[in-house]
Amino acid sequence: MITKTIFEKSQPGRVGYTLPKLKIDRKIEDIFPAEYLRKEPPHLPEVSELDVMRHYIELSNYNHCIEKGFYPLGSCTMKYNPKINDELSAIPKFTALHPEQPEETIQGILKLMYELKNMLAEISGMADVSLQPVAGAQGEFTGITMIRAYHEKNGNARKNIILPDSAHGTNPATSTLNGYKTVEIKSNDKGMIDLSALKEVADEDTAAFMLTNPNTLGIFEEQVEEIAEIIHNVGAFMYLDGANLNALLGIVRPGDIGFDVVHFNLHKTFSTPHGGGGPGGGPIGVIDKLRTFLPIPQIEKKDDKYHFNYEIENTIGKVHTFYGNVSQMIRAYVYLYMLGKNGLKRVSENAVINANYLMKKIEDYYDVKYKKGVMHEFVASGSSFNKYGVHTIDIAKRLLDFGFHAPTVYFPLIVPEALMIEPTETETKETLDKFADAMINIAKEAEQNPQLLKNAPTNTPIKRLDEVRAVKKLNVRFKE
C-alpha cells in the first residue's frame, strides 16, 4: 500500500492539540499590524497527533538505514554508529554551550577537542591537526590550500597536481578550485600507481600528488614509499585522501610511509553519522613544516589551561564558522575512547577480513579483476551479464528486492560496470552470507530471467523510475 500525503489524510475539524482559553480578551489584530497578517488561513492538514505519528513512522519505514539493513556502499564506510556516541554528545553541558563564551568557561570542551586532535595526529603520524573542516571534501580543500600557501611563500605556487585515474571526484575538483591543473596518470595492470608514468610527469611544476591508500579498488599501494620519494625529490607534497582510512587503523600510520597531509572523515572512519549529507567532520592533519599554515584558531594548552590561538604565522585563515561541527567531534572522541588502541586495530582487521570473505564468496559469479592486496573493499564487475542485456544498474535495483542497499555503482571508472563493495567491520558473517547469496541468485537470474532484473525492483513501494526524467522533473507525490 502506498502512503498518502499528510494532506490527503486530512479531515475537516480534526486537531492534534488542545490549548487553554486566553485569560485576556485580545484579538490578533490588536497585536500585529494588519500588513503582517494573512488574508487567508494557511493550508495546513487537519490531523490528530496519532495520525501524524503513524504517517511519519510509515514513511520512515520506506527509508533504508544501517539499523534496517546492510549498506555496502564502497568508499563510504557505512558502519553502525554506536548510540552511546549520540547519547553523550546530547548531554546538556555540551548542547548548552555557546561558541562565543569566554575560554575560561569552556575548558571541558576545549580539553576534549585538544585531546581529539592529538589522538588523530597519533593515529596518522601527523605533527598537528585542525578540527575545523566539516566534511572530507572541505578538509581536502583545506589541505591543498595550505600546500598552495606553502609554495607561494617559497616563491612559486607551482602549476599541477597529479592524480591517479582511480581518484575520487573531489580530488580534481579540489585541485581546480585551488587554481591547479590536474595531471592524471594511469594505473598499471595490478590496479596500482605506474611508477614510470609518475616519473614522467613529476617535476618542479608539481605541487602535490593526491593519493587514496588503499586506493578505490581497495588495494594497498605497496610502492607508496617509492612514490613518496619521487614526489619529495621534486619538492612536492604527498596528500592522502583519508576516505579509506578505516583499513589502516593501528596497522600503518600515513606519516610513517611518506604522506605529508591527510584528511579524516569522522563520519566514516570514526563512526559519526553521515546525516544525509551533513553535518560531517573532515579534520586535516599535516607534518611539521605545514603546521604554521593551519586554519585559525588552533586549540592549544598552556599551564593546564586550554585556549584558542589566533596568532599562527602563515595561517590560511578560517575555513568554517567558529570551530567546526563540535557535536561530531564529541561522537568521534567517545568512539575512540570506547575502542582504545587495540580496539581500533581490530576495526581495521575485521573490515579487511569481511571484505576478503565477501569477495571470495562471489568471485566465481562476478568478474573481480583486482584481487591481490585487497583490504577493506573490493570492486566487482557486472560486465559479463551485458550479453543478456543486464547491466550493473539492474543488479543494483534487484538487490533492493532482497532488502539490501546497493553497493556504489559505476565507480571507479577504470572498472567497466563496476560494483564497489565495502562491508565494514560491523557486519556479521550471517549478514555477509545473506548478501552473497542474494548476489549469486541475481547472477543466475541475469542468465535465466534477465527481464526480471530489467523490471526490478518489484516489491518496493516505488518501482523502477525513469531516472533521467526524475532528475529533470521532480515529482514527490505518491500515486495509487
Give tens-digit pLDDT for 262-300: 999 999 999 998 865 557 899 999 999 999 999 999 999
Q: Please count the structural domains in the chain.
A: 3
Let me know whether 263 and 305 are in one domain: yes
SS3 (DSSP) at 40: coil
Asked whether residue 229 carries a pLDDT value surpassing 70, the answer given is yes
Q: Residue 75 domain-assigned?
A: no
Q: Phi, psi at residue 239, to the nearest 5°?
A: -110, 125
45 by Cβ neighbours in 10 Å (0-12 / 13-18 / 19+) ranks as middle
Asked whether residue 480 carries a pLDDT value surpassing 50, the answer given is no
Asked whether residue 217 carries a pLDDT value surpassing 90, the answer given is yes
Helix, strand and coil content of the chain, in percent to the nearest 5, comes to 40, 10, 45
Look over the chain and give the mean of its residue pLDDT values, rounded to a whole number.
93
Let me know whether 262 and 352 are in one domain: no
Asked whether residue 402 carries a pLDDT value surpassing 80, the answer given is yes
CA dist., res. 170 & res. 265, Å (int) = 13
User: In this predicted structure, what is the pLDDT of residue 146?
Assistant: 98
CA dist., res. 228 & res. 202, Å (int) = 11
The residues facing 356 across adjacent strands are none
User: In this predicted structure, what is the pLDDT of residue 454?
Assistant: 95
Last residue of a domain, one of 339, 367, 382: 339
Give the range among 15-19, 303-307, 419-423, 428-432 with minimum mean pLDDT: 15-19
Q: Residue 74 domain-assigned?
A: no
- Domain of 372, CATH number, reads 3.90.1150.10
Beta carbons within 10 angstroms of residue 457's beta carbon? 17
Let me know whether 314 and 231 are in one domain: yes
What are 356's three cell numbers?
Answer: 576478503
Q: Residue 69 domain-assigned?
A: no
Judge contact between 424 and 405, C-beta under 8 A: no
- Domain of 189, CATH number, reads 3.40.640.10
Judge contact between 282 and 266, C-beta under 8 A: yes
The pairing of beta strand 206-212 with beta strand 237-241: parallel
- pLDDT per residue as tens digits for the range 423-465: 999 999 999 999 999 999 999 999 999 999 999 999 888 888 8
Let me know whether 155 and 276 are in one domain: yes
Last residue of a domain, one of 293, 318, 339: 339
Q: Residue 467 domain-assigned?
A: yes
CA dist., res. 448 & res. 81, Å (int) = 39
Let me know whether 230 and 318 are in one domain: yes
User: In this predicted structure, what is the pLDDT of residue 275?
Assistant: 66
Angle between helices 107-124 and 326-362 (to 10 degrees): 30
Instruction: Please state, for a pLDDT cut of 90, what percent of the chain lies above it.
Output: 84
CA dist., res. 179 & res. 413, Å (int) = 24
Torsion on CA atoms 429, 434, 437, 439, rounded to nearest 10: -100
CA dist., res. 330 & res. 86, Å (int) = 9
Let me know whether 455 and 331 are in one domain: no
Q: Residue 77 domain-assigned?
A: no
- pLDDT per residue as tens digits for the range 310-328: 999 999 999 999 999 999 9
Let me know whether 318 and 365 are in one domain: no
H or E element in which residue 374 lies: none
Q: Residue 73 domain-assigned?
A: no
Asked whether residue 2 carries a pLDDT value surpassing 80, the answer given is no
* pTM recorded for the entire structure: 0.90
Closest CA to 240 of 253, 249, 251, 230: 253
- pLDDT per residue as tens digits for the range 30-87: 889 989 999 898 899 999 999 999 999 998 888 888 999 999 999 999 999 999 999 9
CA dist., res. 386 & res. 404, Å (int) = 22
User: In this predicted structure, what is the pLDDT of residue 466?
Assistant: 83
Closest CA to 212 of 272, 169, 249, 157: 169
Beta carbons within 10 angstroms of residue 454's beta carbon? 17
Residue-number span of the structural domain to which 462 is assigned: 348-472
The pairing of beta strand 305-309 with beta strand 206-212: unpaired
Q: What is the mean pLDDT of residues 24-33?
A: 85
- Angle among Cα 363, 364, 368 to the nearest 5 degrees reads 35
Q: Identify which has the larger pLDDT, 468 or 433.
A: 433
Q: Residue 101 domain-assigned?
A: yes
Closest CA to 209 of 217, 221, 218, 219: 221
Q: Residue 311 domain-assigned?
A: yes
Let me know whether 333 and 353 are in one domain: no
Let me know whether 191 and 216 are in one domain: yes
Judge contact between 245 and 211, C-beta under 8 A: no
Closest CA to 292 of 156, 149, 471: 149
- pLDDT per residue as tens digits for the range 86-128: 999 999 999 999 999 999 999 999 999 999 999 999 999 999 9
Last residue of a domain, one of 314, 339, 364: 339
Let me know whether 168 and 100 are in one domain: yes
Let me know whether 329 and 248 are in one domain: yes
SS3 (DSSP) at 208: strand
Let me know whether 329 and 460 are in one domain: no
